[in-house]
Structure 1
């Protein structure tokens, strides 16, 4: 005859709810604990585009972070001014644009232009355009040159006239390595300055990507006072 076994709740299972409640209270205590010095505290609105962060017991209203990032791209530092961070915004406007325009001048005002044609794929422009509005005229000039280029021969039409006296206009086509084209003439006139100017404008664009990130995410979690609570 088969014996029938009976199961009874073990004392261990009875203790589990208490243990779980204890763990839950501990986790709640951790979540309710005040932030450490230098820790960034985000509001519940942070994912909706608007956020208030707290660093070193100082509240910073980032306002609309997406708009701030866009403004920081259009004009370096403009996003910070929009957020009320005027000192930082002024610093970025002066430093980033100074580097960019210094490089532009070193290169004879010819190092920033948009072109993606065989023999003249100006990939440098993708980084130079990091400064936003200052580099946008190159797109207008590049499109004008594209429409004035013969697709069969790849040569610039005689009827082509650049805007703004050639400001940020691409060189006349074709551009061939080893040939005496317009790019070769720019190099001959400026020498190493053309190369340095290209790098300066690229570095300025890269720096502004960091400025855009700072406008979007706020300052780093480092105590402003330099002191940490123990």
Structure 2
């Protein structure tokens, strides 16, 4: 007696859930109905990210406006500035939490380095060279460890985005769940 098992068609990718998980970690899972998993991702990644920000005295997530003339890969802005601060390439994936750095970068004026934006003030603004030297020289290793935490949070969110895109691992096989329900009912 041979049983023929029909393979299930491949699951369709959920781009909206992936986008939601990029914006806010775990939001795509919540959208898909996996609320517990989504809240776990949201709390753990935001805790890791903002704890890293706190350790770095709220000055370790930024995109500097720097000279890209001597870069090896990207000699144009803004990717040239990401090449000069590679950490931001990892921090970026945390989503909306890293957007103030992009806004500060886009609104920065090299002629007015002390100008602050009305709402953001100096939040995620590239610190001056003097401030960076002060943070690294006079402080302990917390500043460096803080940006490591923020990068880890951003990179882990890439896995969360993929989980939302691919959907849940287990799914009900049509027909088998009905057979189980009938067996339990009788």
Instruction: Say yes or no: TM over 0.5.
Output: yes
1:1-230 alignment to 2 at 5 Å? Answer: 33-34=5-6, 41-42=8-9, 46=12, 49=13, 65-118=14-67, 121-145=84-108, 148-150=109-111, 157=112, 160-163=114-117, 164-172=120-128, 175=129, 181-220=130-169
Superposition misfits of 4+ residues, deviation over 4 angstroms:
none
- Separation (CA, whole Å) in 2 of partners of 1:77 and 1:84: 11
Output the TM-score relative to the length of structure 1.
Answer: 0.60
Q: What is the alpha-carbon distance in structure 1 between the residues aligned to residue 9 and residue 46 of structure 2?
A: 31
Unaligned runs of 5+ in 2: 69-80, 172-186
CA contact (8 A) 1:71 1:78 kept: yes
- Give TM-score, length-normalised by structure 2: 0.74
Larger Rg: 1
CA distance in 1, matches of 2:36, 2:170: 19
CA contact (8 A) 1:144 1:162 kept: no
The structure with the largest strand share of the pair is: 1
Q: How many residues align?
A: 154
Q: Post-superposition shift, 1:216?
A: 0.5
Aligned equivalents of 2:67 and 2:168: distance in 1? 43
1:185 CA displacement: 1.3
d(CA) in 1 for partners of 2:141, 2:27: 33
Unaligned runs of 5+ residues in structure 1 are 1-28, 36-40, 50-64, 151-156, 176-180, 223-230
In 2, Cα distance between equivalents of 1:168 and 1:123: 16
User: Is the 8 Å Cα contact of residues 187 and 194 (structure 1) preserved in structure 2?
Assistant: yes
Matches of 2:62 and 2:159, distance apart in 1: 23
